[in-house]
Amino acid sequence: MKVGIDAGGTLIKIVQESQQGRSYETELTTNISEVIAWLNANTFESISLTGGNAGVIAENLNTEAKIFVEFDASSKGLGMLLKEQGHHINEYIFANVGTGTSLHFFDGQQQHRVGGVGTGGGMIQGLGYLLSQITDYEALTNLAQSGDRDTIDLKVKHIYKDTEPPIPGELTAANFGNVLHNLDVEFSPANKLASVVGIVGEVITTMAITVARENKTENVVYIGSSFNNNPLLREVIEDYTVLRGFKPFYIENGAFSGALGAIYLS
Ligand code: ADP
């Protein structure tokens, strides 16, 4: 059994692979000592580490482990998952929507980091907590799904009331810009959370398509655990990417790209 581990800021992603097949597991980074104990209690053909907390794991292991740069590991694993899932694209932007968001251009040979932005899963959890007092990830994301952004976010159509707007009316003109026009309505936690997911998704998409244009590709691939239990985030990002004229790709198990790729960089 070979094991690949991507120990990130929030989550530890674990991939195990043998002739029999592949498994994917996730653990909170706050439980890193349990992952170390599990690694020390078992025998593996190889242990490959990546991510910001890879060093913490390596220095507490009884055996040797290899550490890889997470951007290269993610790129390698993502290339494998794309092929396995029938997406035969050669050049693409990939946006890794983790605690924060990292943007990369894959040129057919290798990845180049082309940007990053602080809107990501960490913002959904942190700002989400400030607006709802919910710390539990599943409860937070469940509630966001039923929210309505209409009284919170200002759309282009809200500004162009009687005339045809020069850009699609459904586009967001100002995230949270409709709040002061609706002080007579109640802003429910669900609505506020849906708007947080909205701004995170729209900022990420705006960044991703900007670097896609710069690098002359129309393909934008989205990965990261921030899509877990959050179909609304996926919908915001996919719809907005299409609206702006680019091709979005959402990859199953994309959050495990780094852990999987680390195994194969060895
Ligand atoms: P990182 O490598 O930075 O840890 P990930 O790709 O694992 O990044 O994404 C982390 C994000 O995933 C969190 O900020 C959160 O929004 C989301 N997430 C998904 N599942 C969970 C969970 N069970 N507990 C906490 N956060 C989760």
- pLDDT tens column, 149-170: 999 999 999 999 889 999 988 8
**Would the pLDDT of 89 be above 80?**
yes
217 lines ligand 1 (CB under 6 A): no
**198 among annotated binding-site residues:** no
Residues belonging to the active site: 70
Rounded average pLDDT over 127-141: 98
Query: What is the per-residue pLDDT for 91?
Result: 98
Query: 153: buried, middle or exposed (CB in 10 Å: 19+, 13-18, 0-12)?
Result: buried
Tokens 């092929």, located at residue: 83
Rounded average pLDDT over 25-37: 98
**Would the pLDDT of 266 be above 80?**
no
Query: What is the per-residue pLDDT for 56?
Result: 98
Ligand 1 centroid–CA 52 distance in Å is 14
One-letter amino acid of 13 = K
- Residue of 225, 230, 253 to mutate, ligand 1, most atoms within 8 A of C-beta: 225
For the stretch 158-166, contacts whose Cβ atoms lie closer than 8 Å and that sit 24 or more positions apart, written own/partner, are none
Query: What is the per-residue pLDDT for 32?
Result: 98
pTM: 0.96
- Residue of 228, 229, 233, 234 to mutate, ligand 1, most atoms within 8 A of C-beta: 228
Query: What is the per-residue pLDDT for 164?
Result: 92
Residues near 110 by beta carbon (within 8 Å), at least 6 away in sequence: 72, 75
Residue nearest to atom 22 of ligand 1 (CA): 137
**8 among annotated binding-site residues:** yes
The per-residue pLDDT for range 174-216, each reduced to its tens digit, is 999 999 999 999 999 999 999 999 999 999 999 999 999 999 9
**225 among annotated binding-site residues:** yes
**Percentage of the chain surpassing pLDDT 70?**
100
